[in-house]
Amino acid sequence: MTQTTVAVSDEAVLMSRHLAGDDDAFLELFSRLNHKLFIYSLKLLGDSVQAEDVTQEVWEKLIMLRRQPQEYLNPVGYIMKMVRNHCFNQIKNRKRVSHFSTMDETTHPRDTEGDRTELEEIVLTALDGLPVEYREVLILNIYCGYTLQEIADMLDKSTDAIWKRASRARDKLRAAVLAMPDFQRQELTGLD
């Protein structure tokens, strides 16, 4: 009789140590994941203050998990789902307050990464117009650096489904950028 060995990720080991009370393990998880969680939140929400709030809430909830520890074989996926749910709750709450398109442009959120080029503005505008399921895959892949396999694991989808979603998302993003008025696409002529 042969035994099947399940590979345990570094993050799963760190999560187990954290849940057992190891603060250093928590700090290591934080240093590995916080920036990606923030970027993911920022790109979904478009507001750095809300993104900071979401990531802080998630870290607080992770600390509270010590009260009733469980085994997490895919802690990154679990944490990303927490962030995702918090972001979607923020988006849902916004709909109750006011629609983004009704806000004056001067009040639109900006990230703090500095001035964007015209091309970056065009792409980000097009990205914001994508349905969430497409935008999410591109954000996780391009901005957070996760592979499609890692994204599939996080979202409990097959790699093939995520690959198709990413492909469709890129097609929709390209079409949205190309559909913008000609004066906005002048910088894109070199991309063909």
| pLDDT tens-place string over residues 91-127 | 877 765 444 455 555 444 444 455 667 777 777 888 8
CB 37 within 8 A of CB 79: yes
Query: To the nearest whole percent, how much of the chain has pLDDT over 90?
Result: 33
pLDDT band at 6 (very low <50, low <70, confident <90, very high): very low
64: enclosing H helix or E strand: helix 48-64
% of the chain surpassing 70 pLDDT: 78
User: What residues contact residue 119 under an 8 Å CB cut-off, 6+ apart?
Assistant: 187, 188
